[in-house]
Amino acid sequence: MSHLILIAIGPVQDFIASARRTRDLWFGSWLLSELSKAVAKSVYQAKGNLIFPYPTDPAQDLAPNSAFNVPNKILAKVEGDVKMIADAAKQALDTRVNEIRDGAFAKVTGVFDQTRAKAQIAALIEFSWVALHLASDDVYCATREQLEHLMAARKNTRNFSAVTWGTNAPKSSIDGERESVIDNRELKGQELTMYREYGINIGEHLSGVDILKRHGQKGVDSRFPSTSHIAATPVFNYLTLLDQSEKNPKAVTRLWKDYICALKLLESAKEYIQNEKTPIYHDIFEYYDGSLLFAERFNDALVGEDLKKAQKYLQDFLKPFLDTTIPIPYYAILHADGDAMGRFINTAHGMDEHQGISEKLTRFAGNVKSIVENHQGALVYSGGDDVLAFLPLTSSHVIQEGNNKRLATVFDCAADLATAFKQALVDPMVSLSVGIAIVHHLEPLSDALDLARKAEQQAKGIKGKNALAINLSKRGGADRIIAGSWAKPEGQFSLYERLTRLIELHQYDQIPLGFAFELHDLSIRLKDLPASILRAEAKRIIERKYTSNGKKVEDDIAEQLLKMIDDLLLDQTTKPHSIIQQFADEVIIAEFIAEAQKLANGN
């Protein structure tokens, strides 16, 4: 007898997002994909016809540690005893999580409560399944819809049991829910021991789930760049250019080696720099993480005179190359999600068409990693139409536009993803909305992720979606959020095109100095005035302002800026003062990105 079976693995968002380090975040995402993969493989081996996900080469794609990402839902057509198939899938999940758990625990040389840690991990994973008889392929769509309703009901009646691992130990410093399994009270003043035996910083408390995230191994590829490394990318690119210059070749390489050697002589820095590694080798910086370019990061592990010396060594390294000796400490989190996917999937007439959609989503997801890495970013997750990645503000990727070349920005990566999504699905109904949060590298990761989700929700709020939203969150200032569609009416700029042009104008100092802040002030003081007056006042501000090099704004530049404002004011659904405020924020955000580009170019 044929059945449709739907299996859900959880928890998803809470488990992934509860992380203090990017590596914890990435591993949480990878773990859920790996468990879903084990379940999908079990169903496939039971002669199940996988509908979602749709591996093109099941033997390779569903193998442990493969690059294939599997979302937390598995849909398949199966034959025979459906409960036996579901039980076997649950056993496959348990086997895989135990393998990963045991590998993580083996890497911790310090003593911790393994019994309680195992109980915490066992209580973490949720496995839910529902199945319905599939009389024929003709009723596939109706059966699948009913199956989704059954899964929602099943999740609302999940199994609850008493917690067996609760104690009065300190709570986890990562999720605040589970008790720590490491007795930090016996580690006071033993920073090196904490690093070496537990992989924790001062003040951290880890539960069994946290140890799983912190020490779980993804084959040989178990490292992930830090937020500081992503933020340091423009500096790395600039220093690479300097190192290749004819004037003083290999100067950066020599000074970097001296810097690392000096750090290794500091007792409390040895373990720290050994742990601050990335998965990608660089000819100059080897595997060292960009956190070694930020003096404030030494506060995590170094103490006393070692801390002062390390900060002095860093300053000595950067001083010959940077005027301020402080790299731009910001990076971007990109969160993307497909639009109208539910309606699109519901248009599938039967299982074959649904599998075709799954295959297209698989193709897109498989291309995401190369797109992100082409922009020097780090992919956390790409499953179906869902993407989460860390990106530098600007990368070494060069974009050719006519006879001109420019360095790509995080916005270009977003545009490449949106284009790839449309090309993969080839349907006008669907599109990709992207939210980008620009945050300080020391911002708590959970807060930074919330800002990225807020931006993605802002994009989803655009009429017709197919949108881009950016949230610039600078320390000591209010967040600036802008949003707009990827599409554009004939003869107008899209948000992406405006930002690209504004960044270029900032790079060549052709934007009036301070004019964005005057526009912002204008939008507040004259908020009740009609669009014509606000536009006239904006024109007056532009024409009387000077650029940072003391020159009057050129007439054609002034006309371009006014054209951008005019395009925005055509929107009759938004109040004129809000439009002026949005444009002012666009100019400010573009200037922020332009500064990173100037740094990467050595300007």
* Mean of pLDDT values over 184-192: 56
Rounded Cα–Cα distance for residues 78 and 90 (Å): 16
Element of type H or E holding 97:
helix 82-106
The alpha carbons of the chain give a radius of gyration, in whole angstroms, of 26
Greatest Cα pair distance in the chain: 80
Residue range 201-215: average pLDDT?
A: 79
pLDDT in tens, 96-120: 999 999 988 888 887 888 888 898 8
- pLDDT score recorded for residue 166: 64
pLDDT reported for residue 187: 55
pLDDT at 186: 56
Q: Mean pLDDT for the chain?
A: 87
Instruction: For the chain, give the percent of residues with pLDDT over 90.
Output: 50
Query: Which one is predicted more confidently, 341 or 201?
Result: 341
The arrangement of strands across the sheet holding 386-391 comes to: 378-383, 386-391, 330-339, 431-440, 467-472, 480-485
pLDDT digits (tens, 9 = 90+) for 362-388: 999 989 999 999 999 999 999 888 999
Q: Which helix (H) or strand (E) holds 50?
A: strand 49-52
Residue 184 has pLDDT above 70, yes or no: no
What's the pLDDT tens digit per position in 7-23?
Answer: 999 876 666 666 778 88
Helix/strand/coil (H, E, C) string of 458-497?
HHHCCCCCCEEEEEECCCCCCCEEEEEECCCCCCCCCHHH
Neighbours of 415 (CB within 10 A): 21
467-472 and 431-440 beta bridge pairing: parallel
pTM: 0.91
Burial letters 101-119, b for 16+ CB under 10 A, else e: beebbeebeeebbeebbbb
Residue found by looking up tokens 């490449």 in the block: 416
Q: Can you give the length of the chain in residues?
A: 603
> For residue 127, what is the enclosing H or E element?
strand 126-133
pLDDT for 92 equals 97
Task: Tell me whether strands 330-339 and 386-391 are parallel, antiparallel or unpaired.
Answer: antiparallel
Condensed to tens digits (0 to 9), the pLDDT of residues 388-418 reads 999 999 999 999 887 888 999 999 999 999 9
pLDDT at position 390? 97
Tens of pLDDT along 455-511? Answer: 999 999 998 889 999 999 998 788 999 999 998 877 788 999 999 999 999 988 888
Residues with Cβ within 8 Å of 260's Cβ and at least 6 positions away in sequence, in order, are: 273, 288, 292
> Quick check: 317 pLDDT over 60?
yes
Of 432, 443, 427, 435, give the one whose Cα is nearest residue 411: 435
Model pLDDT, residue 461: 93
- Position 193 confidence tier, pLDDT thresholds 50, 70, 90: low
* Mean pLDDT lowest among 213-222, 295-304, 485-494, 534-543: 213-222
Residues 124-161 pLDDT 10s: 888 999 999 998 888 999 999 999 999 999 888 766 66
Q: What pLDDT score does 418 carry? A: 96
Share of the chain above pLDDT 70, in %: 92
B/e letters for 199-219, b = 16+ CB within 10 Å, e = fewer, are bbbbebbbbbbbbbbbbbebe
> What DSSP character marks residue 512?
P
Domains in the chain, CATH or no CATH each: 2-215 (3.30.70.2220), 227-318 (no CATH), 330-601 (3.30.70.270)
pLDDT for the residue numbered 192:
52
**C-alpha–C-alpha distance, residues 295 and 180, integer Å:** 30
More reliable by pLDDT, 109 or 315: 315
Whether the Cβ atoms of residue 367 and residue 561 lie closer than 8 Å to each other: no
* b/e 519-557 (16+ beta carbons within 10 angstroms → b): bbebbeeeeeeebeebbebbeebbeebebeeeeebeeeb
Query: What single string gives the DSSP state of each residue in 299-336?
Result: GGT--HHHHHHHHHHHHHHHTTT-SSS----EEEEEEE
Residue 410's pLDDT is: 97
Predicted local confidence at residue 205, as pLDDT: 80
Structural element, H or E, at residue 389: strand 386-391
pLDDT, mean of residues 34-63: 94
Q: With a cut of 80, say whether residue 165 has pLDDT above it.
A: no
pLDDT tops 90 at residue 213: no
pLDDT at 190 over 60: no
Cross-strand partners of 467: 485
Q: Which has more confidence, 253 or 542?
A: 253
The better pLDDT of the pair 465, 89 is held by 89
Q: Pick the residue with more confidence: 599 or 482?
A: 482
Q: What is the dihedral of CA 133, 137, 138, 139, to 10 degrees?
A: 30
Residue 546 pLDDT exceeds 80:
no
